[in-house]
Amino acid sequence: MKKTVVFIIILFLFGQVNAENGYRLWLRYDLIGNQSLLQQYRRQLAAVYFSQGSPTLSVAEKELRKGLQGLLGISYKNSSGADNACLVIMKSPNNFVNQIISPAEAFQLKEEGFMIRTFRNKGKSTILITANDDKGILYGVYCFLRLLQTHQSIQALEIKEVPSIQLRILDHWDNLNRFVERGYAGLSIWNWHELPDYRDKRYTDYARVNASVGINGTVLTNVNANANILTPQYLEKVKALADIFRPYGIKVYLTARFSAPIEIGGLRTADPLQEAVRNWWKKKADEIYGYIPDFGGFLVKANSEGQPGPQDYARTQADGANMLADALQPHQGIVMWRAFVYSPDSDDRFKQAYEEFHPLDGQFKKNVLIQVKNGPIDFQPREPFSPMFGAMPKTPLMMEFQLTQEYLGQGTHLVFEAPMFKECLEADTYEKGKGSTVAKVIDGSLNNFEISGMAAVANIGNEINWTNHPFGQANWYALGRLAWDHELSASQIAREWIRQTFSNDPAVVEKCTRIMMMSHEAVVNYMTPLGLHHIMNNGHHYGPAPWAHSLPRPDWNPVYYHRADTMGIGFDRTKTGSNALSQYAPAVQKQFEDIHTCNEKYLLWFHHVSWQHTMHSGRTLWDELCFKYQEGVDSVRSMQKIWKELKGKVDRERFNQVNMLLAIQEKEAVWWRDACLSYFQTFSRQPIPEPLEKPKHTLAYYQSLSFPYAPGN
């Protein structure tokens, strides 16, 4: 009996140690099971030389040791010299490196770039990882470990990578009380109460994971800012995090509440043109840099959704941004000034960022970037690209995506966002003619800007697996990879992530890729097909509520956006409507202005369309809408079927978790379909075509549903 109990305890402990709870994210350095490949790697990496010299090089070497120990089951001792090694990690310039790469090649690596090259040294094949700076070495090491994790050949390597975008940033909407606005993965990972003395291991792992995909900045606090983060009490805590992140090449940024001079500074005004206010911010910047010498700068949300800003004093957004820019400039800090504004004065929320910022083009200081959401409204399942991206040639613009799935099923729906990101990045603004893509705007190449940036609202919390949904991790991964290289394809990113996160088994890679690559179109179809947008429930944005109209401002309500009536549905943004299309270049206007040639993915974004309008499929608009909603549901069911085929090929813990979440997603996709079609049918007065499924309940039932405690509000 005792032996049985001991055996059970051992099995329990073993299972706990080896549980696939998702904490390691994509840095799973488990022993390679392919024996042939394992032996090949071991032969090729028999001796390693890693040059020393800085905290960043130390963490890079530690990561390499950890990776080789886990993947290959070997512990290396640093070779006595580079000539004796099979793998050499060394910065350029160096006498050894100079024999392998030319000065011109080294120059091309710039900052943070790296090269991995196989060469012959004293008759043996040797691999060199080199860069011009320590961060480049760190990124090169992570790239090399990714090759091993994804079972790539390392026999004849010729890799040169330089980041496309300079600032690659996660924006945390985390509050000082640890509540995360629009957060679906638990509380904030920043435990402000215990900092600076208790430094959770998770902070280091957070830095490791971000560095592995090239993320080099983190905004610690919510854009709906709290001025207390700028007080000494909290700056000591921020310093503790900055000290942990620094060796991993990550700078910290803070959100600056515009009214801080009043709230914590004792001034009576926050007018950006008042000398006392300007001096206060300069002294505050000096104080912050005293704690954190490499502090990145400020992210600011001003005069939006009740946040204070320069317009409170009849000043422009440029006046406010430039005041902070002047305070940060002596320290090489930057201001990321958000363009998410929508005053009640415009006739179309779509137009408001352009109306407010376009006239200010060229008026911002050089260390100011305007941070623009990918679309003109608010992180919808599908949006046309924001017209801002083709309208400010004298001002650097940075991208703002949203990883946290506020409008994409929140914490329970499997939605791989990389296809959505790529759709925006590859869109052509025609700012300087054909080929003026959004990607070229934000990487600075279109207008020759020295500073460039891409940010995304984080989907991270203190859940054991960081993101709640296991596949939510893929969106974090995708943000880093696309900010590093926006030419990567969504499918390539998916396959990389799957191989590192689940398995190199071809069946797992193929099936998971199919699920991921169909997931975004699925959610668009069962939520907002054909260009519908912002028809989620008010406030928490959980679930459908196209009928909602109770909030005081029209543009806070779904009925504002779909404009359904007995004649048709959709928002007319052509010359006969709000004329928002005029904010795009003529070539872009031409793509959308004709109801007959407009891409149907965006049809209801730009046109109020008759229910009887003939679509490309030959169906009426009403029938097409019904088929699209059903297609969304069917896609989720296909995702469920494919995932079930992976039983036994994916660890039990994560298999069951995803299986349960997909069941929730299917249930909610049906809810979305039935609720929306029941409501829109009151206007179309048409039957749902055969053989499509019919709503299970009455419209009154769907309208009666209430979720006062939905997360993330």
Joined together, the tokens standing for residue 173 give: 């909407």
Each residue's pLDDT tens digit, 136-151: 999 999 999 999 999 9
Query: What's the CA gap between 349 and 148, in Å, rounded?
Result: 48
Q: Which residue has the tokens 């025609």?
A: 430
Task: Name the band, by pLDDT with cuts 50, 70 and 90, for residue 70.
Answer: very high
Q: Give residue 123's pLDDT.
A: 87
pLDDT band at 17 (very low <50, low <70, confident <90, very high): very low
Secondary structure (3-state) at 614? strand
Give the amino acid at 504: N
Instruction: Assess whether pLDDT exceeds 50 at residue 541.
Output: yes
Q: Would you place residue 52 in the very low, low, confident or very high pLDDT band (cuts 50, 70, 90)? A: confident
Nearest to 382 by CA among 604, 656, 618: 604
**Average pLDDT over the chain, rounded to whole?**
96
- The residues annotated as belonging to the active site are 305, 378, 406
Contacts by 522-525, CB closer than 8 A, 24 or more apart: 522/415, 522/632, 522/635, 522/636, 522/639, 522/669, 523/381, 523/408, 523/409, 523/413, 523/415, 523/632, 524/381, 524/382, 524/601, 524/632, 525/628, 525/629, 525/631, 525/632, 525/635
Coil, helix or strand at residue 351: helix
Which parts of 150-231 fold into alpha helices (H)? 201-212
The predicted structure's pLDDT at residue 78:
83
Query: Which H or E run includes 455?
Result: strand 453-457
pTM of the model: 0.96
Beta strands 397-402 and 453-457: pairing type? parallel
Element (H, E) at 522: helix 506-527
The percent of residues in the chain predicted with pLDDT above 90, rounded, is 94
Structure tokens at 605: 């974004």
| pLDDT digits 0-9 by tens, 543-569 | 999 999 999 999 999 999 999 999 999
Query: Which residue, among 490, 386, 387, 390, has the nearest Cα to 440 in the 3D structure?
Result: 390
Any idea what DSSP says for residue 223? S
Please write the tens of the pLDDT for every residue from 170-222: 999 999 999 999 999 999 999 999 999 999 999 999 999 999 999 999 999 99
Encode pLDDT of 83-121 as tens digits.
999 999 999 999 999 999 999 999 999 999 999 999 999
Q: How many CA atoms lie within 13 A of 193 on its CB side?
A: 4
Residues 6+ apart with CB under 8 A from 274: none
More confident residue, 345 or 617: 617
What percentage of the chain carries pLDDT values higher than 70? 97
CA 554, CA 343: separation in Å to the nearest integer? 11
Per-residue confidence band for 19, with pLDDT thresholds at 50, 70 and 90: low
Query: Helix or strand or coil: residue 170?
Result: strand
Q: For the ranges 12-26, 167-181, 184-198, 360-374, which has the lowest average pLDDT?
A: 12-26
Identity of the residue numbered 531: G
Residues 308-334, mean pLDDT to the nearest whole number: 98
Under the banding of pLDDT at 50, 70 and 90, the label for residue 81 is confident
* Model pLDDT for residues 633-657, shown as the tens digit of each residue: 999 999 999 999 999 999 999 999 9
What tokens appear for 527 in the block? 């939520």
18 is written with which tokens? 């080896």
- Pairwise CA distance, residues 98 & 104, whole Å: 11
* Domains of the chain with CATH codes: 20-161 (3.30.379.10), 167-501 (3.20.20.80), 524-571+608-704 (3.90.1330.10)
Residue with tokens 């009887």: 612
- Whole-angstrom CA distances from 649 to 19, 416, 506, 508, 512 are 15, 21, 10, 7, 11
Do the Cβ atoms of 87 and 125 come closer than 8 Å? no
Residue 468: its pLDDT value, please?
Answer: 98
Cβ atoms of 596 and 607 closer than 8 Å: no
Task: Give the pLDDT mean for 688-698.
Answer: 97
Cα separation values, 15 from 9, 33, 615, 660, Å: 10, 19, 55, 21
Residue 128: strand pairing partners: 88, 117
- d(Cα 318, Cα 303) in Å, to the nearest integer? 12
Quote the pLDDT of residue 1.
Answer: 46
Can you give the C-alpha Rg of the chain in angstroms? 27
Which parts of 645-694 fold into alpha helices (H)?
652-684
Name 114's bridge partners.
131, 161
Say which residue the tokens 């005053």 belong to. Answer: 343
Instruction: For residue 512, count CB atoms less than 10 angstroms from its CB and return exposed for 0-12, middle for 13-18, buried for 19 or more.
Output: buried
- Which tokens hold the place of 317? 């957004």
Q: Tell me the two tokens of residue 250.
A: 């990550």
The average pLDDT across 556-584 equals: 98
Give residue 10's pLDDT.
38
Task: State the helix-helix crossing angle for 55-72 and 35-44, rounded to 10 degrees.
Answer: 140
Q: According to the model, what pLDDT value does residue 79 have?
A: 84
Q: Is the dihedral of CA 403, 408, 413, 415 positive or negative?
A: negative
Q: How many residues does the chain have?
A: 713
Tell me how far apart the alpha carbons of residues 580 and 221 are, in angstroms, rounded to a whole number: 33
